[in-house]
């Protein structure tokens, strides 16, 4: 794949992420309102704010790359988020928690993928930020997963899903795949006086 193709692939990935973060933020706006536990409400509000921060940064990156979000997809994903938000009011406690955890698990992989695509596109300066976003998604997954695991009853037990790889693997696997991607260029040797 040429660097130009890799850049196009990165832009496509960023457009998806940009709209996906909106769907998540709208869904969480409904989700936190259905929760009774003050800690859970505060945590889902915090997670929602982190999704909006991701969206803002991804939007800036698109602009830096001379691209724009896909407005129709953005509107559709807002509707998807709204449908999820409404379903939280009828889905009880467990179903929205499981849905959130499973979606967060996918998001980890998506930002890991964006980090690799950034390197392929000759934009390694973005890779570090994507790895950090993947770590934040990992933390979100862990939050929902821990809540579901601690929930008594057959529904939470039946709906459990596999853990993602350990958090450290996000960076470790990146460095294994692309050992020199984030190595700063060596300073030029001083010319002899």
Binding residues for Fe ion, per CB under 5 A?
Answer: 51, 54, 104, 137, 140
Decide whether 117 or 140 has the Cβ nearer to Fe ion: 140
Decide whether 39 or 153 has the Cβ nearer to Fe ion: 39
Q: Compute the distance between CA of residue 57 and CA of residue 128 in angstroms, rounded to an integer.
A: 13
Task: State the nearest-atom distance from the C-beta of 172 to Fe ion, in Å.
Answer: 21
Reading phi first (left if > 0) and then psi (alpha if -120 to 50, else beta), residue 165 is in beta
Task: State the nearest-atom distance from the C-beta of 108 to Fe ion, in Å.
Answer: 9
Decide whether 5 or 146 has the Cβ nearer to Fe ion: 146
Task: State the nearest-atom distance from the C-beta of 187 to Fe ion, in Å.
Answer: 36
Nearest alpha-carbon partner for 115 in 88, 141, 134, 94:
134
Task: State the nearest-atom distance from the C-beta of 138 to Fe ion, in Å.
Answer: 9
Q: Compute the distance between CA of residue 83 and CA of residue 19 in angstroms, rounded to an integer.
A: 15
Decide whether 104 or 112 has the Cβ nearer to Fe ion: 104
Q: Compute the distance between CA of residue 93 and CA of residue 91 in angstroms, rounded to an integer.
A: 7
């Amino acid at each position: 794949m040429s660097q130009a193709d890799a850049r196009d692939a990165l832009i496509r990935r960023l457009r998806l992420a940009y709209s996906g973060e909106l769907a998540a933020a709208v869904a969480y706006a409904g989700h936190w309102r259905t929760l009774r536990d003050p800690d859970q409400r505060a945590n889902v509000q915090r997670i929602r704010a982190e999704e909006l921060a991701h969206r803002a940064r991804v939007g800036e990156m698109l602009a830096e790359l001379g691209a724009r979000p896909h407005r129709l997809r953005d509107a559709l994903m807002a509707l998807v988020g709204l449908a999820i938000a409404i379903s939280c009011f009828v889905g009880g406690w467990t179903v929205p928690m499981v849905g959130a955890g499973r979606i967060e698990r996918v998001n980890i992989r998506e930002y890991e993928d964006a980090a690799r695509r950034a390197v392929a596109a000759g934009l390694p300066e973005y890779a570090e930020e994507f790895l950090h976003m993947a770590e934040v998604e990992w933390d979100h997954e862990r939050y929902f997963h821990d809540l579901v695991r601690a929930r008594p009853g057959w529904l939470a037990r039946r709906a459990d899903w596999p853990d993602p790889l350990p958090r450290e693997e996000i960076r470790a696997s990146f460095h294994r795949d692309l050992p020199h991607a984030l190595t700063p260029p060596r300073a030029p040797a001083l010319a002899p006086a």
